Amino acid sequence: MYTDKVMEIFSTPKNVGELKDANGIGNVGNASCGDIMKIFLRIENNIIQDVSFLTFGCAAAIASSSAATEIIKGMTVENALKVTNKQVVEALGGLPQQKIHCSVLVEQAIKAAIADYKTRL
Ligand code: FES
C-alpha cells in the first residue's frame, strides 16, 4: 500500500524527538483515527533553524512528519506557512487516498507551531 519512499522514511525518520529550546510548538490530532502529532520549531531571525517532531500515529503520519521537517528546515516563517500537504505527499512519492489526512495533519501541526511562536513574540 505504501511507496518505497514512505517505507524508507518510516524506517529511518529524521528529526525525531523533543526540541529542548523550541520557541514554537504545534500539537494537533485527528479525532477519527486518534493519531497525534507534535512539531517543535526553533526560529531565529525569522528562519526555522531547527525542527523536530513527536508523532504517535501510523506509518504515513510518521513519514509525513519526517519529510515535512526536512522541507521546512532553513525556511522563513512565511515560506513554511505556505507548505502544503501536497508537497509532503510528493516528497513521499505519493500516499494512498485513505492516508492523505496524515499529510494534512503535519501541515496543520506546522501552522499551529508557527501560530504558537507568534504568540510568544
Ligand atoms: Fe490518521 Fe495516519 S491514520 S494520521
The per-residue pLDDT for range 52-106, each reduced to its tens digit, is 999 999 999 999 999 999 999 999 999 999 999 999 999 999 999 999 999 999 9
3-state secondary structure of 78: helix
> What is residue 30's predicted lDDT score, i.e. its pLDDT?
95
Task: Give me the chain's average pLDDT, please.
Answer: 97
Cα(99)–Cα(119) distance, integer angstroms = 31
Helix (H) / strand (E) element for 40: namely strand 36-44
* Burial label, 70 (beta-carbon count in 10 A; 0-12, 13-18, 19+): middle
Say which amino acid occupies 91. A
Element (H, E) at 81: helix 77-82
Q: What is the pTM of this model?
A: 0.97
- Residue ranges lining ligand 1, Cβ < 6 Å: 30, 33, 35, 57-58, 60-61, 99, 101-102, 105
Residue 79: its pLDDT value, please? 98
How many CA atoms lie within 13 Å of 37's alpha carbon, on the beta-carbon side?
32
Q: How far is the CA of 2 from the centre of ligand 1 (A)?
A: 13
pLDDT given at position 116: 98
